């Protein structure tokens, strides 16, 4: 006898009048096994999310379903044939999701067994097995690691994964099973490997004022110029080396077989980090347990701090500057750093975003009125040569009417500028939409009928083909007066993809959107939320 899972389809239904906030069950399926004794006894192990009870309708004319609690199983004996079993998951409030699972029952050993075994490219020591055979219902995998003899089962044609404790060569055995007494096996000596490079970028650092950060390496902030990331301190004698690793345009330091590694500022250069609170860095490794970081002072040498690392993922490290000063280190004249790996010279690290920082005393956040004595770093874009257009905070040139404040942002749209030219400003914190989902902007336009496009982005969201964040909201409004201040309102909810759960941290203004630049000047002020 043979049992096969051939396909799954899902439908949702809600039988309750009183619908709560509980979601309908998700990912309904079942691991379906069968005894190898020619009896046709099939065991259903249903699986799903948010389920409090399962019903199994066997599809063979049996009128009474099997009822199963989460984690439980139910058996059913089939005669030879093909059946559509229905698995129904129910939530605590009665929401239901069903999946149809085809069960083929026949007496015949599995044939034409095909097994694929692969190392995961992103997770060290993770191996994925997939087995497919004619006349098979499921298969068992013995991964061959000492002390772990129990197999892992999977439906025929589905995949199963396992993470080993150590890399090396292991005998992996796959046993494909139908309802027949005879099984079909495959075994191979397989080399389990360690992933030695990241496949994702380090977390994007937050927006910070230039006065609140001293950066040595990374693309977010302006770095101290002339830094040497591989000075010759005889690291090569321990087999250590380095490279700058490029991950789809995102560069990071890669120290190979890390024993110790220095970073040296340019000759004659020191940095005073006594006003900073932390040193930050993001570290990825597959095989190092710890990294030791030392700050080196011209005055009194170096002091270390050791941090644990987590394999196969980015570890964000923030070390208080006090951890160094409490050891007696002078931090007003730092000219070098040093990293030491544990174990010594036996693993590699990838490091990004090395910088010192402190909590901001003043922040750029909604509402924005440009009156604070901080740097509002507007970044213009869209000139005729696709470079920057002028954008900066200036004194209010027209302190009348709707705006008598002292400072405003000025955006020039020079002749030939792109129709989408504008300027952006990074916020120091994400927008809090409890303060409203409409944005009011005070605008001074040289003409009536100028379209003003207001946009916000989540700067950390994945980028599109042009390098722009894919999570954003943009709304247009049109000026109705010329050479005078007026307040324009942008209803963010009118943009279909807008969500209050998104972490918008960048404001962008597009003056005279859709029209090529003609040398016009626009002013903006008081960007604030309302209901």
Q: Are residues 93 and 138 in the same domain?
A: no
Q: Are residues 334 and 400 in the same domain?
A: no
Q: Are residues 496 and 405 in the same domain?
A: yes
Q: Are residues 168 and 229 in the same domain?
A: no
pTM over 0.75: no
Residues contacting 107, CB < 8 A, separation 6+: 1, 2, 38, 80, 178, 179, 180
Is 420 inside any structural domain?
yes
DSSP 8-state class, residue 15: -
Instruction: Give dist(CA 170, CA 190) in Å, integer.
Output: 5
Q: Is pLDDT at 394 greater than 80 in this prediction?
A: yes
> What is the arithmetic mean of pLDDT over 294-313?
96
Q: How many other CB atoms are found less than 10 A from the CB of residue 341? A: 26
Element (H, E) at 384: none
Is 264 inside any structural domain?
yes
DSSP 8-state class, residue 299: T
Count CA atoms closer than 13 A to 13's CA, side-chain side: 6
pLDDT digits (tens, 9 = 90+) for 468-503: 999 999 999 999 999 999 999 999 999 999 999 999
Q: Are residues 126 and 98 in the same domain?
A: no
Q: Is pLDDT at 22 greater than 80 in this prediction?
A: no
DSSP 8-state class, residue 37: S
Is 161 inside any structural domain?
yes
Q: Are residues 215 and 88 in the same domain?
A: no
Asked whether 134 and 111 are in contact (CB, 8 A), the reply is yes
Instruction: Give dist(CA 105, CA 6) in Å, integer.
Output: 12
Asked whether 339 and 238 are in contact (CB, 8 A), the reply is no
End position of a domain, from candidates 305, 323, 357: 357
Q: Are residues 270 and 383 in the same domain?
A: no
Q: Are residues 69 and 99 in the same domain?
A: yes
pLDDT digits (tens, 9 = 90+) for 183-225: 999 999 999 988 788 989 999 998 888 889 999 999 999 999 9
Per DSSP (E only), the strands in 390-519 are 391-395, 407-413, 422-426, 438-445, 451-457, 472-478, 484-491, 506-510
Is 373 inside any structural domain?
no
> What is the arithmetic mean of pLDDT over 311-316?
93
Q: Are residues 487 and 353 in the same domain?
A: no
Is 364 inside any structural domain?
no
Q: Are residues 218 and 307 in the same domain?
A: yes
Please count the structural domains in the chain: 4
Residue 129's CATH number: 2.60.40
Residues contacting 467, CB < 8 A, separation 6+: none
Q: Is pLDDT at 11 greater than 70 in this prediction?
A: no
pLDDT recorded at residue 227: 97
Is 199 inside any structural domain?
no
pLDDT recorded at residue 104: 83
Instruction: Give dist(CA 110, CA 107) in Å, integer.
Output: 10
Q: Are residues 235 and 312 in the same domain?
A: yes
Dihedral sign from CA coordinates of 169, 243, 122, 176: negative
pLDDT digits (tens, 9 = 90+) for 429-469: 899 999 999 999 999 999 999 999 999 999 989 988 888 99
End position of a domain, from candidates 62, 84, 105: 105
Is 366 inside any structural domain?
no
Residue 248's CATH number: 2.60.120.260
Residue 9's CATH number: 2.60.40.10
End position of a domain, from candidates 294, 325, 357: 357
Q: Give the model's confidence band at 106: pLDDT under 50 very low, under 70 low, under 90 confident, else very high.
A: confident
The whole-chain average pLDDT of the chain stands at 92
pLDDT digits (tens, 9 = 90+) for 28-81: 999 999 999 999 999 999 999 999 999 999 999 999 999 999 999 999 999 988
Q: Is pLDDT at 348 greater than 70 in this prediction?
A: yes
Lowest mean pLDDT among 44-53, 130-139, 344-353, 360-369: 360-369
Q: How many other CB atoms are found less than 10 A from the CB of residue 174? A: 23
pLDDT recorded at residue 21: 58
The SS3 assignment for 414 reads: coil
pLDDT digits (tens, 9 = 90+) for 359-392: 887 789 999 999 988 889 999 999 999 999 999 9
Q: Which percentage of the chain shows pLDDT scores above 90?
A: 80
Is 25 inside any structural domain?
yes
Residues contacting 190, CB < 8 A, separation 6+: 117, 127, 169, 170, 171, 172
**Tokens 């439908």, residue located:** 11
pLDDT digits (tens, 9 = 90+) for 260-269: 999 999 999 9
Residue 450's domain spans which residues?
379-530
pLDDT recorded at residue 20: 52
Q: Are residues 94 and 160 in the same domain?
A: no
């Amino acid at each position: 006898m043979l049992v096969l899972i051939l396909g799954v389809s899902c439908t949702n239904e809600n039988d309750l009048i009183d619908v709560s906030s509980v979601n309908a069950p998700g990912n309904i399926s079942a691991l379906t096994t069968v005894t190898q004794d020619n009896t046709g006894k099939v065991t259903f192990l249903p699986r799903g999310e948010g389920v409090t009870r399962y019903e199994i309708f066997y599809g063979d004319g049996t009128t009474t379903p099997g009822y199963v609690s989460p984690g439980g199983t139910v058996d059913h004996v089939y005669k030879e044939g093909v059946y559509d079993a229905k698995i129904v998951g129910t939530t605590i409030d009665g929401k239901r999701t069903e999946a149809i699972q085809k069960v083929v029952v026949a007496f015949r050993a599995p044939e034409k067994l095909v097994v694929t075994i692969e190392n995961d490219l992103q997770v060290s020591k993770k191996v994925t097995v997939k087995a497919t055979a004619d006349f098979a219902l499921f298969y068992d995998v013995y991964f061959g690691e000492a002390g772990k003899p129990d197999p892992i089962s999977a439906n025929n044609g589905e995949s199963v994964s396992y993470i080993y404790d150590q890399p090396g060569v292991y005998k992996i055995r796959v046993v494909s099973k139908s309802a027949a007494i005879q099984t079909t096996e495959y075994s191979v000596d397989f080399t389990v490997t360690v992933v030695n490079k990241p496949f994702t970028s380090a977390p994007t650092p937050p927006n910070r004022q230039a006065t609140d950060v001293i950066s040595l390496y990374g693309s977010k902030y302006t770095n101290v110029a002339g830094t040497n990331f591989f000075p010759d301190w005889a690291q090569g004698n321990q087999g250590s080396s380095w490279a700058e690793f490029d991950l789809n345009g995102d560069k990071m330091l890669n120290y190979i077989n890390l024993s110790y590694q220095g970073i040296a500022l340019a000759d004659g250069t020191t940095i005073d980090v006594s006003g900073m609170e932390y040193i930050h860095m993001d570290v990825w490794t597959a095989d190092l347990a710890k990294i030791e970081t030392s700050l080196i002072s011209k005055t009194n040498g170096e002091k270390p701090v050791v941090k644990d690392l987590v394999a196969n993922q980015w570890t964000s490290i923030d070390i208080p500057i006090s951890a160094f000063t409490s050891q007696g280190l002078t931090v007003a004249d730092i000219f070098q750093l040093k990293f030491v790996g544990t174990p010594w010279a036996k693993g590699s690290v990838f490091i990004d975003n090395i910088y010192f920082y402190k909590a901001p005393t003043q922040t750029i956040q909604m509402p924005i009125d440009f009156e604070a004595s901080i740097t509002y770093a507007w970044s213009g874009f869209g000139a005729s040569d696709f470079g920057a257009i002028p954008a900066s905070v200036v004194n209010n040139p027209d302190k009348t009417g709707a705006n008598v404040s002292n400072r405003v942002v000025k955006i020039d749209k020079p002749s030939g500028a792109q129709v989408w030219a504008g300027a952006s400003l990074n916020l120091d914190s994400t927008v809090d939409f409890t303060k409203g989902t409409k944005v009011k902007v005070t605008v001074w336009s040289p003409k009536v009928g100028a379209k003003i496009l207001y946009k916000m982005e989540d700067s950390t969201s994945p980028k599109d083909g042009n390098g722009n964040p894919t999570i954003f909201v943009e709304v247009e409004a049109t000026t109705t007066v010329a050479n005078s201040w007026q307040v324009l309102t942008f209803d963010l909810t009118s943009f279909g993809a807008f969500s209050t759960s998104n972490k918008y941290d960048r404001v962008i203004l597009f003056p005279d959107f859709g029209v090529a630049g003609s040398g016009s000047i626009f002013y903006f002020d008081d960007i604030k939320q309302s209901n």
